[in-house]
Amino acid sequence: MLNHALIHPEINAILGRAGHHAKILIADGNYPVSTKKGPNAQIVHLNLAPGCVTVAQVLRAILSAVPIDFVNTMGIPADDSYAKFGEPPVWSEFREIVAASNPALKLQPILKWDFYKAVESADHVLTVQTGDQALWANVLLTLGCRTA
């Protein structure tokens, strides 16, 4: 019996095979999962309906299951029309979830095109596609390692 919140068998299997520095993308409903992924990445589709499930829900479950070294969001380029609105509201929720899991972790934006490059690396092992409709709600996790 698992002793954490994540019960999805395929996601648990992929995480169990992943090692230190592996990357996990939790993608919103607008992310192009079929074309922006690493060569070793598997996709798990949890996009049941618009808004179901959310990136925040998946983030909470994954953080309960594995150690994480870095949490990156897709940063907004200065020339993007959304940049004038400031930080996306969903990032506040992500910060709360991350802080509850590990207060030492900080949300770190990576500009959009650099985010895509990070996802396209050979270290990318899993994309979880959600139905989240929040804008700029993509999160890239870098796995840590077990410590004593």
The 3-state secondary structure of 33-64 reads CCCCCCCCCEEEECCCECCECCHHHHHHHHHH
- Measured between alpha carbons, how far is 44 from 11 in angstroms, rounded to an integer? 7
**CB 127, CB 47: distance < 8 Å:** no
* pLDDT given for residue 1 in this prediction: 63
Give the CATH number of domain 9-143: 3.40.1650.10
Amino acid letter at 41?
A: A
97: enclosing H helix or E strand = helix 90-101
Spatial strand order in the sheet of 107-111: 42-45, 124-129, 23-27, 139-143, 68-75, 107-111
Collapsed DSSP state (helix, strand, coil) of residue 73:
strand
Amino acid letter at 96?
A: E
Note the pLDDT tens digit of each residue in 111-132: 999 999 999 999 999 999 999 9
Collapsed DSSP state (helix, strand, coil) of residue 140:
strand
- Measured between alpha carbons, how far is 2 from 93 in angstroms, rounded to an integer? 26
* pLDDT given for residue 23 in this prediction: 98
Low-confidence ranges of the chain (pLDDT < 70): 1, 148
